[in-house]
Amino acid sequence: MKFQRPLYLLFSSLPPSHSSHPFISLSLSLSLRLCVFMAPSFESPQQPEGEIASDNNTHDEVLQKSRVTVVGSGNWGSVAAKLIASNTLKLTSFHDEVRMWVFEETLPSGEKLSEVINRANENVKYLPGIKLGKNVVADPDLENAVRDASMLVFVTPHQFMEGICKRLVGKIREDAKAISLIKGMEVKMEGPCMISTLISEQLGINCCVLMGANIANEIAVEKFSEATVGYRQDREIAEKWVRLFCTPYFIVSAVQDVEGVELCGTLKNVVAIAAGFVDGLEMGNNTKAAIMRIGLREMKAFSKLLFSSVKDSTFFESCGVADLITTCLGGRNRKCAEAFAKYGGKRSFRRA
């Protein structure tokens, strides 16, 4: 039986002065016992059977290694590249190198962003102070970045995805698999279109999603977090994504509900705006808690209205209630709405 012990990891990081406190010691003891009972529900980030590192790989095994490209290099995209790069070095089923497509920009110094990332091993504009891993290679050429990649990780602003997909038609491997970390949807005259559906339909490939209570800067400094992979039919592909992302501080589980997971990551931002209004108007924590509870209920009702296949249990995963709580407490949408309400609507969301 494989399992992870996240509560133990949390408490084991406490300094001796805290862990020796009677209350903390009791909490640690209880947490360790809870881990034993909770163990089956957690995916293991350790190397699964058959993933034992070896220098004696056969030629066929080398050819079968998956190549990973991260399409996007903003704050969350850079953190995703860091997570993935730490695992590709350990898992023999993946090539070490992780390519990251960078929308090229010229920095105030006059240097190209991609060149600085490759030289400093750091995204100095969107994730300063964090080393990405020496096996992360920034590439400003989209077509070149995805060439030969069998696993594509999409993490760009949702409004750019349709244009990116059009550029990639006929440029990717036929057997490529994708995962979207994009929280949002396309709203068209004919109705809403989920980003995973856009990717699948335009590129003709399988697309899973990864959502959760994931504030990028916290994950970048390896504070504990969880995430949920949503998949449609192929559990094996979902488990491969879990292995690629899972680390001792970033625990990932999989559920068979792409639309439910993706809608959670989209709709929680609407609720967070309402929570921000509450904060800006100083209406108190009780009101904010009510907004979050009612908001979760409305998220579920709206999701089921769009897709009857959405599962109730999905809303109790990291992508659901956990992401809602995190976003309503510290997300960007909440902060903008708070500033907007505090200034009586005289300060725009853009300036907030």
Does the structure show a pLDDT above 60 at 25?
Answer: no
Nearest Cα to 319, choosing from 279, 275, 269, 248?
269
Q: What is the pLDDT of residue 349?
A: 54
In a domain, 349, yes or no: no
Q: What is the pLDDT of residues 190-238, one digit of tens each?
A: 888 999 999 999 999 999 999 999 999 999 999 999 999 999 999 999 9
Nearest Cα to 152, choosing from 79, 101, 91?
101
Q: What is the pLDDT of residue 186?
A: 86
Q: What is the pLDDT of residues 93-117, one digit of tens each?
A: 999 999 999 999 999 999 999 999 9
Residue type, 234: D
Domain final position from 256, 274, 306: 256
- Identify whether the C-beta of residue 180 lies closer than 8 Å to the C-beta of residue 196: yes
- Contacts of residue 309, defined as CB under 8 A and 6 or more positions apart, other chains included, come to 257, 259, 260
Among residues 82, 268, 288, 300, which one is catalytic? 268
Average per-residue pLDDT in the chain?
85
Q: What is the CATH number of the domain that holds 219?
A: 3.40.50.720
* Joined tokens for residue 157: 């602003």
Residues 31, 99, single domain; the answer is no
Does the structure show a pLDDT above 60 at 176?
Answer: yes
CA distance 245 to 247: 7
| Residue 20 pLDDT grade (very low, low, confident, very high; cuts 50, 70, 90) | very low
Does the structure show a pLDDT above 50 at 346?
Answer: yes
Residue-number span of the structural domain to which 165 is assigned: 59-256
* Joined tokens for residue 181: 């970390």
Q: What is the pLDDT of residue 85?
A: 98
Percentage, residues of the chain above pLDDT 90: 75
* Joined tokens for residue 214: 């994931």
How many residues belong to the chain? 352
Residue 178, H or E segment: strand 177-180
268 assigned to active site: yes
Residues 212, 314, single domain; the answer is no
Q: What is the pLDDT of residue 23?
A: 34
Does the structure show a pLDDT above 80 at 122?
Answer: yes
347 or 298, higher pLDDT: 298
Residues 102, 232, single domain; the answer is yes
Does the structure show a pLDDT above 60 at 10?
Answer: no
Question: What would the mean pLDDT of 168-177 be, rounded to a whole number?
Answer: 97
Report the predicted TM-score, pTM, of the whole model to 2 decimal places: 0.82
User: What's the domain count of the chain?
Assistant: 3
- Residue 181: what are its φ and ψ, rounded to 5°? -105, 15
Does the structure show a pLDDT above 90 at 187?
Answer: no
Domain final position from 206, 241, 256: 256
